[in-house]
Amino acid sequence: MSTDAIEILISPPDKPGARQILAASDAYLAELYPPESNYASSPAELEAPEITFWIAQDAPTSMVLGCIALKMEAAGYGEIKRLFVQPSARGKGIGSKLMQTVIDAAQQQELHTLRLETGIYQTEAIALYQKFDFAPTEPFGDYEDDPYSVYYQKSLNDGFANPTLCPVCQRTQSEPSLTLCHYCAWPLTETLLLSTAQLVWVRQVWQQMQQGQALQEQLAQVQATILAGVANIASQFAATPEPEPADETISLPAPEPQMDYEPLWAQVSQALSQQQWQAADLRSAQLLVAIAQRERQGYLSPEDVAVLPPELLLRLDELWLEASEGHFGLSVQKQHHIALSGNRARITQVWPKLATELGWCQFGDQWLTYEELSFDLDAPQGHLPVLGDGLVWFVGGWSGAFEGFTKLMSRLP
């Protein structure tokens, strides 16, 4: 099946094929999240006039394979809802075709931003959003903080065409006529003078400033707590003429509860035992993100990779080696890495050659998308795992991923 045979059609949510795909989506979400953390719109809610609902239909068979919806908000942004592709039809570009349809519709409606809520376990969907340049954001609209949810947004037209959305801090202005952002004080009238690369750099500087400010606030709170404790101790000594004998009993703090990652290990092992290589790859990425306690972000930076416990990476590698009879595994990739780079810390010069050997790149500069990878044993040796599209060390893109890759290899015993 090719995407040329897939039709994206506006459909009533109560159409038989639409009802079936929504029911399949509901069943999929019910297996992942508790009811109170499931925010999927019902078919009745999708019939609202501000919502457009599309289905992805296989033209020869009229079988409905996916769906998506767009809700237009009065504030001028759109919310993407109910994105779902049947598991048997994934990896064929249907999700990308649905996303592009919604983005085109939003631009035609002159919406300034697209936003969405999704679950932390929907790693394939998150990778798709990142492919379309959606960035993490805070809860919006009626959403509140939920440990099972993450939120993304994409500023249309690079943020230049919307006078009410600051291109730096991505906050909507209370008054469209403002010349300075109400939150970060960025001069909104200067935006058109910047290139896209310059705007990205300004956003990164703003994020670093926010992180520094948050650290200063935390240090101030710690200092205030220490001073209050010292003052309290001093007052106790002043009020007590003769100190009581010291209690020699040592009270140890209660140990912090340990997270149980065995269910995630079991999912990785099950997928590998059934040779479901793509599912095993995504589950492996999900496991490492959970171990690093980065579920809300949905990815690991090279710095996060550099502190992953070596014994856990070794355990993951052994599972892949056993299931593939030595064909796939992190240690297989490391052997190629050492052979080409001489075990150097950075492999900028040989990275394209290594990626070509592992089947991630063609002709030294044509990098494959995640959907174009080979999830079977006919793939080159060491082709897997890649740990998800945009989730771990590929968060910077294939061509810039060598830093995270070398740090991952350095953690492997």
pLDDT in tens, 359-409: 888 876 677 887 888 999 999 999 999 887 655 444 445 655 666 777 788
- Per-residue pLDDT, 179: 63
HEC secondary structure over the chain: CCHHHEEEEECCCCCHHHHHHHHHHHHHHHHHCCHHHCCCCCCCHHHCCCEEEEEEEECCCCEEEEEEEEEECCCCEEEEEEEEECHHHCCCCHHHHHHHHHHHHHHHCCCCEEEEEEECCCHHHHHHHHHCCCEEECCCCCCCCCCCEEEEEEEHHHHCCCCCECCCCCCECCCCCCCECCCCCCEHHHHHHCCHHHHHHHHHHHHHHHHHHHHHHHHHHHHHHHHHHHHHHHHHHHHCCCCCCCCCCCCCCCCCCCCCCHHHHHHHHHHHHCCCHHHHHHHHHHHHHHHCCCCCCCCCCHHHHCCCCHHHHHHHHHHHHHHHCCCCCHHHHHHHHHHHHCCCCCCCCCHHHHHHHCCCEECCCEECCHHHCCCCCCCCCCCCCCCCCCCCCCCCCHHHCHHHHHHHHHHCC
Cβ(97)–Cβ(56) below 8 Å: yes
Whole-model pTM above 0.85?
A: no
- Per-residue pLDDT, 20: 95
Lookup: tokens for 268: 């990785």
- Per-residue pLDDT, 192: 45
Lookup: tokens for 380: 């080159």
What phi, psi does 67 have (nearest 5°)?
-155, 165
Cβ(8)–Cβ(56) below 8 Å: yes
CATH 1.10.10.1770 fits 262-411, yes or no: yes
> From the CB of residue 241, how many other CB atoms can be counted at a distance below 10 Å?
6
Longest dimension (CA), the chain: 93
- Per-residue pLDDT, 344: 46
Query: For the CA atoms of the chain, what is the radius of gyration?
Result: 25
Domain 3-162 CATH superfamily: Gcn5-related N-acetyltransferase (GNAT) (3.40.630.30)
- Per-residue pLDDT, 337: 82
Domain positions in the chain = 3-162, 173-219, 262-411
What phi, psi does 77 have (nearest 5°)?
-115, 165
- Per-residue pLDDT, 372: 84
Cβ(30)–Cβ(38) below 8 Å: yes
Q: Which stretches in the chain have pLDDT values below 50? A: 158-163, 191-193, 195-197, 250, 252, 254-256, 343-346, 392-396
Q: What is the dihedral of CA 182, 185, 190, 196, to 10 degrees?
A: -100
Q: Which residues contact 1 (CB under 8 A, 6 or more apart)?
A: 58, 89, 92
Q: Amino acid letter at 160?
A: F
**76 vs 99: CA distance, rounded Å:** 19
